[in-house]
Amino acid sequence: MGLTRIVRLHFREEAVVLFLQQFEIDKVKIRNFPGCLYLALWQDAESRAVYYTHSEWSSEDDLEHYRNSALFKEIWGRTKILFADKPQAFSAYKQEEV
């Protein structure tokens, strides 16, 4: 059963464009990481400085391999300096789909 990961990212207003430029470069690398089945970026409906990444992983182990990888460390290092607030991450397993 796959794992869904949602991460809420609140950026400083002036950093949003830089984040979007970086995401454009990094998205294919993340999506092609072993075990990543899906990747999407959402913008919050009420705040243009809040984004969510939605990723699907083959397993929790695959997500952990990504989180411990050099790729993640490089991307996270460039991204975390852009935050206005602490990110929030949620992992869940789908129970039902209608």
Q: What is the CATH number of the domain that holds 41?
A: 3.30.70.100
| Residue 95 located in a structural domain | no
- Residue-range definition of the domain harbouring residue 59: 3-87
Q: Residue 36 domain-assigned?
A: yes
* Residue 97 maps to a domain: no
12-34 pLDDT, tens digit per residue, is 999 999 999 999 999 999 999 99
Indicate the average pLDDT of the chain.
Answer: 97
Question: How much of the chain exceeds pLDDT 90, in percent?
Answer: 98
- For the chain, how many structural domains are there in total? 1
If you search the block for the tokens 């206005």, which residue do you land on? 84
Strands 3-10 and 88-92: antiparallel
- 60: which residues sit within 8 A by CB, 6+ positions away? 3, 91
CA distance 50 to 71: 23
In a domain, 92, yes or no: no
In a domain, 98, yes or no: no
**CA 88 to CA 7: how far, in whole Å?**
6
